[in-house]
Amino acid sequence: MNRFVVAFLAAVAIGAAASSAVAEQHEKPNLVSILTAADPQTQLMALTLSLQSLQQGAKVRVLLCGPAGDLALKEPPAPATAPQKPANMSPRGVLQKMVEAGAPVDVCAIYLPNKALGTDALMPGVGQARPDAIAGHLIAANTRILSF
């Protein structure tokens, strides 16, 4: 009888381990999208892929650096708001959708000081990144990094 109990418990343990491994394979990843490109088409595609990942269950965080930081300004440059084909969406419009969906969006820590701006220049829902916090997200388990 004891052998039966031991064999049963071993089978349950193996089944639980296998089930856990399958669950990990299906767990949605953390995604950090780092966008630096000035080109509106690149910006739009990067943000569209990030939004699609968010809508498919990934935990998405966006970091805007350099020229891409301009997307987050209350008054962005005209190319950021110009609709593009085929969906007539703009980089700023997709960024707004991401913010509304709850994705954390930050500009790089050095963006605002080098533009001589404060956080009040940013659109609602966008913050200024802390390097230590971003580094934590970059090295977290199950994180994928997209860089445009």
pLDDT at position 12 is 46
pLDDT at position 145 is 97
Query: Taking all residues of the chain, what is their mean pLDDT, rounded to a whole number?
Result: 88
pLDDT at position 9 is 43
Q: What is the side-by-side strand order in the sheet with 143-147?
A: 126-128, 105-107, 59-64, 30-35, 143-147
Q: Measured between alpha carbons, how far is 124 from 143 in angstroms, rounded to an integer?
A: 26
pLDDT at position 28 is 85
Instruction: Encode pLDDT of 81-107 as tens digits.
Output: 999 999 999 999 999 999 999 999 999
In this prediction, residues 61-77 reach a mean pLDDT of 98
Burial class (CB in 10 A: 0-12, 13-18, 19+), 146: middle
All structural domains of the chain: 28-147 (3.40.1260.10)
DSSP letter at 109 equals T
Radius of gyration of the chain (CA): 21
- 8, pLDDT greater than 50: no
In this prediction, residues 3-10 reach a mean pLDDT of 48
Instruction: Encode pLDDT of 10-62 as tens digits.
Output: 444 555 444 444 445 568 899 999 999 999 999 999 999 999 999 999 999 99
